[in-house]
Amino acid sequence: MRKRSPLTAQGWANARTWAAKAQASAVKVRRRSTYEQRLGFWLFHAVPKIPPPELEHPFAKAARGRNWRLDFAWPDYRVGVEVDGGARLVRWQTNPRTGKPQPVAVGRHGQASDYEKMNVAAELGWRILRFNPEMLRHPEVAVATIGRTLTAAGWAGNTIAPAPQAPEPSPR
C-alpha cells in the first residue's frame, strides 16, 4: 500500500480555501493551479515555520523589460519557486520500435521562453527551485527543500533538518 501524505486525511479543501484567500489579498493574481494550491497550503502551514512567500512576484521588469513572475518568492533572500503544471496531450506519433501510435505530451515548461525566464532569473541572482506534479505528491519534501535553500541564502530562522544522505556503498 502506498504511503499517503499526512495532509490527505484533512482533504485538499483547505488548500483551495488558502488559494482563494491568497487571490483575494493579491492584486491581479492569476488563477493558481492545483499543484500551486497544494504547495502554497504547505508553505503557509509548514512546521517549523518558514517565512511566508510573496505570490506571483514580478522580476526582470527593470532589467529586461519583461513582466515575468515567480509563483512563490522570497525577494529578501532572492529565492523563487516555480511549479510546473502537468503536460498536455498535443499529438500522436509513431513509436519507432513498435510502429504503433503513442501520445506525445508537451507542456509549456519545455519552451524556449521558459528557459529564457529561468536564465534571466539566474543572471539577476535568484535561486530558483522547480517542482513538477510528481514531486508535489509529497509536498512536505518540497517545503523542506525550500527551507534549506532559504537557509543557504541567509535566512537564520530555519530549524528544518538537513536532507537525508544516501548510504555509502560498502566495499566488496
| CATH, residue 117 | 3.40.960.10
- For the chain, the domain total comes to 1
**Within a domain: residue 69?**
yes
pTM listed for this prediction = 0.64
**Within a domain: residue 162?**
no
**Within a domain: residue 92?**
yes
Q: By residue range, what is the domain housing residue 119?
A: 7-152
**Within a domain: residue 165?**
no
Mean pLDDT taken over the chain:
75
CA angle 39, 140, 131 (to 5 degrees): 50
Q: What is the predicted pLDDT for the residue at 33?
A: 76
Report yes or no: 88 and 105 within 8 Å, Cβ to Cβ.
yes
Report yes or no: 57 and 73 within 8 Å, Cβ to Cβ.
yes
pLDDT in tens, 20-30: 555 444 444 45
Please compute the mean of the pLDDT values over residues 21-44 and round it to a whole number.
68
**Within a domain: residue 59?**
yes
Query: 86, 132, 126: which is closest to 106 by C-alpha?
Result: 86
CA angle 155, 159, 163 (to 5 degrees): 100
Query: 37, 31, 36: which is closest to 16 by C-alpha?
Result: 37
**Within a domain: residue 164?**
no
**Within a domain: residue 61?**
yes
- Which residues have a Cβ under 8 Å from the Cβ of 117 and sit 6 or more positions away? 60, 66, 68
Q: What is the predicted pLDDT for the residue at 41?
A: 87
**Within a domain: residue 172?**
no
